Amino acid sequence: ELTYLNMLGQPVIILNSYEAAVGLLEGRSANTSDRPRIVMAELTGYMWEFAIQGYNQAWRVCRRLFHTFFQPSAIPQYHPVHVRECRRFLQRLLATPEDFMPLARHATIMDIVYGITVTEQDDPYVSLALKAAFVFSSIVVPGQYLVESLPFLKHVPSWFPGARFKRQAMQWAKVVRASWDAPYDASVDAFNRGASRPSVVTSCLENAMHEEEHVSPQDDECFRDVAGLACLTGADTSLFATQAMFLAMVMNPDVQRKAQQELDGVIGPDRLPEFSDRDSLPYINAVVKEIIRWHSVVPLGVSHRVMEEDEYKGYRIPAGTILVPNAW
Please give the Cα distance from 281 to 230 (Å, whole number).
29
Please report which confidence band the pLDDT of residue 55 belongs to, taking 50, 70 and 90 as the band edges.
confident
**Tens digit of each residue's pLDDT (9 = 90 or more) over 281-323:** 999 999 999 998 898 877 777 788 899 999 898 899 999 898 9
**Which amino acid would we find at residue 105?**
R
Say what the pLDDT of residue 100 is: 66
Pairing relationship of beta strands 2-7 and 10-15 according to DSSP bridges:
antiparallel
From the list 98, 1, 82, the residue with the least C-alpha distance to 312 is 1
Q: Which domains are delineated in the chain? A: 1-36+303-328 (no CATH), 38-235 (1.10.630.10)
Please report which confidence band the pLDDT of residue 172 belongs to, taking 50, 70 and 90 as the band edges.
very high
Please report which confidence band the pLDDT of residue 48 belongs to, taking 50, 70 and 90 as the band edges.
low
Choice between 315 and 50, residue whose per-residue pLDDT is larger: 315
CB neighbours of residue 176 within 10 Å: 24
From the list 17, 10, 35, the residue with the least C-alpha distance to 306 is 35
Please report which confidence band the pLDDT of residue 190 belongs to, taking 50, 70 and 90 as the band edges.
very high
